[in-house]
Structure 1
Amino acid sequence: MSTEDDIALVKRQELELVLPEFDEAVAFAIGASVRERALRDGLSLVVDLRTWDRQLFFSATPGTSSDNAEWVRRKINSVRRFQRASYRLVLERGEAPFPPQSGADPADYVIAGGGFPIRVPGAGIIGTLTISGLPGRKDHGVAVDALCDHLGKSRADYALSD
């Protein structure tokens, strides 16, 4: 699959993996499912779900560190500012830090996969589901899988190739 194809698929993910509602119960259900998968599959990762004004779910599995939480913070900032999945930024720009003229200080923003916008009909993007601990493409895939599972959609229809 070409980079252009990957970008088109990520855009489709962003537009179609829309939650009918997002509250504490939904955040817990999605976050708990990611945690269960991580423990079952032996994945070291952090999962964070939030609205822009507050964190609704956070979990870290064995093998993670405070660095993962810091990556999450920076991915959240990137999703919020650029209104797209952080992995789409990787595909569009590469993984080099934002240039100084962008005003996106690398201390607060990162181009790395794993931050996915939470979209609700009638409200737009209201928060993020963010994963850290795996390579960026896999972090992104864990987030997409979790949303597919929650929405009852086929993972295969939304999966990026390995």
Structure 2
Amino acid sequence: MGIDDDLGRIALQEKALQFDSFSLDTGWALGALLQDTARQRKLGVVIDVSLFSMPVFYAALEGASPDNPHWVRRKRNTVFRFFKSSYATGLTLAKQGTDLQTKFGLPDSDYAPHGGSFPIVVKGTGCIGAVTVSGLPQRTDHDMVVEALASLLGQDLAPLKLADH
């Protein structure tokens, strides 16, 4: 399984994992679901759910590092700029043999095209925010977010999962 396979599956995830509507309560429920999952699995992560207009949910769990909030901010900025998952952005750049600085003039200090941030999309409206996890390997951060979105939206996770490497 390669970059093209992952990009195809992520495109499917981004199409399937959209909301009919999204409220602050929905954002809180998404963050709480991620927090509960991380606690059950004893994962040291930072979790963030943010709309373009304001933060909705934030948690840092035992074992997270002081760097994780910065990764969250940079990954979230990447979703806010491109309206697609930070992992898809990174894979696309890798496939093209370039980076955000070279292609778009975006500094690494503010943007991170690494897995873990996923767009919050409302059908008929578009991207309104991002849900982000940081603290695990980037593919695992991405998978954790997709799992939570699928659960919250009542979607079958099996056809959405990235293939094992």
Shift of 1:101: 5.6
Q: Does 1:22 pair with 2:22?
A: yes
Runs of 4+ displaced beyond 6 Å: none
For 1:61-91, what per-residue CA distance to the aligned partner results, in whole angstroms no more than 9, with x for missing partners?
1011231111000011111111210000121
Paired residues of 1:96 and 1:111 also in contact (CA < 8 A): no
2:136 equivalent in structure 1: 134
Letter paired with 1:80? F
Paired residues of 2:93 and 2:99 also in contact (CA < 8 A): no
Q: Does 1:144 pair with 2:152?
A: no
1:157 equivalent in structure 2: 159
The two structures have a TM-score, normalised by structure 2, of: 0.93
Q: Which runs of 5+ in 2 are unaligned?
A: none
Shift of 1:100: 4.3
2:49 equivalent in structure 1: 49
Aligned residues: 162
Paired residues of 1:97 and 1:110 also in contact (CA < 8 A): no
Shift of 1:99: 2.7
Paired residues of 1:98 and 1:106 also in contact (CA < 8 A): yes
Q: Does 1:63 pair with 2:45?
A: no
For 1:97-126, what per-residue CA distance to the aligned partner results, in whole angstroms no more than 9, with x for missing partners?
523462211110111100100000121001
Most deviating of 115-124 and 96-105: 96-105
Paired residues of 1:77 and 1:108 also in contact (CA < 8 A): yes
SS of the residue corresponding to residue 107 of structure 1 reads: coil
2:113 to 111, 114, 119: 111
Alpha-carbon RMSD? 1.5
Most deviating of 92-101 and 145-154: 92-101
Q: Which runs of 5+ in 1 are unaligned?
A: none
